[in-house]
Structure 1
Amino acid sequence: MKKHILTAIVILISMLFTYAAIFKAMDYQLFLSDMSKSPLLVKYDKNLLAPVVLGTEFLIVLLLNFPATRKTGFFLSFFIMAIFSLYLSTLFFFFTNIPCSCGGILGKMPYPVHIVFNICFTLLSATGVLLTRKPEYAPRVIH
């Protein structure tokens, strides 16, 4: 059962990051433009930040799809989703009319829906981390 749950989580998170990265890459200029409108990213070079975001999204997908790197993928996914949920929440509660740079249907979600959506995927990532944990040390019984 645990294996099936992990497989479902890997598929869902992989689909999310693949979808988001492809849409951003397909309209890269819009992605850059939307990032430039964010008051929280004023200090950062968008020409450096944008490829890092895309690369990280594709890296997460790659890490999740190999058993040896899956736990790292879940940790990275958790971290990115938590940071982005905090980022969206800050934009929603403290600023107005800031476009989301997610692309596709994700960018068209109202902020409250998008925040809840991200929190759900953050929890999925955390579940993946917990399910890939190695069992705690158990003393060996010698017969």
Structure 2
Amino acid sequence: MKKHIITVIVILISMLFTYAAIFKAMDYPLFLSDMSKSPLLVKYDKNLLAPVVLGTEFLIVILLAFPGTRKAAFFLSFFVMAMFSLYLSTLYFFFTNIPCSCGGILGKMPYPVHIAFNICFTVISGAGVLLSNKS
């Protein structure tokens, strides 16, 4: 049963990060533009940060594909989702009219829905970490 749960978690996280990364990459100039509008990222070079975000998302998907690297992928996914949740929450509660640079349907979600969505995936990633620790 645990193996099936881990498989479902792998599929969900892989779909999320593949979808998000592909949509950002497909409209890379918009992704950069939206990142540039974030008051939390003004100190960072977007031309450096954007490829790191995309690379990390694709890396998680690749690491999830192999049983030997899944635990690392779950940890990385948990960290990334927790950071994205904190980032979106900060934007929502302390700033106004800041576009989300997530792309696709994710970027069109209202902030409260997107934050809840991210928290759900943070919990899913955490479950992956816990279940892979018991292997």
- Structure 1 and Structure 2 fold alike (TM over 0.5): yes
Residue 24 of structure 1 deviates from its aligned partner by: 0.2
Residue 133 of structure 1 deviates from its aligned partner by: 0.7
Cα distance in 2, alignment partners of residues 119 and 18 from structure 1: 18
Cα distance in 1, alignment partners of residues 27 and 56 from structure 2: 17
The aligned residue for residue 93 of structure 1 is: 93
Cα distance in 2, alignment partners of residues 10 and 54 from structure 1: 18
After superposition, the C-alpha distances for 1:23-54 in whole angstroms (9 at most, x for unaligned) are: 00000000000000000000000000000000
- Runs of 4+ in structure 1 deviating by more than 2 angstroms, as ranges, are none
TM-score if structure 1 supplies the norm length? 0.93
Identify, as 1 or 2, the structure richer in helix: 2
After superposition, the C-alpha distances for 1:41-89 in whole angstroms (9 at most, x for unaligned) are: 0000000000000000000000111000000000000000000000000
Cα distance in 2, alignment partners of residues 134 and 93 from structure 1: 37
Residue 134 of structure 1 deviates from its aligned partner by: 4.0
Cα distance in 2, alignment partners of residues 120 and 3 from structure 1: 20
Cα distance in 2, alignment partners of residues 96 and 28 from structure 1: 23
Cα distance in 1, alignment partners of residues 88 and 99 from structure 2: 10
**Residue type at the aligned position of 1:56:** T
The aligned residue for residue 56 of structure 2 is: 56
Task: Please list every run of 5 or more consecutive structure 1 residues that lacks an aligned counterpart in the other structure.
Answer: 136-143
1:46 to 2:15 alignment: no
The aligned residue for residue 112 of structure 1 is: 112
Q: How does 1:1-143 map to 2 (within 5 A)?
A: 1-134=1-134
Cα distance in 1, alignment partners of residues 80 and 134 from structure 2: 23
Task: Please list every run of 5 or more consecutive structure 2 residues that lacks an aligned counterpart in the other structure.
Answer: none
Larger Cα Rg: Structure 1 or Structure 2?
A: 1
CA RMSD, 1 decimal:
0.6
**Residue type at the aligned position of 1:118:** N
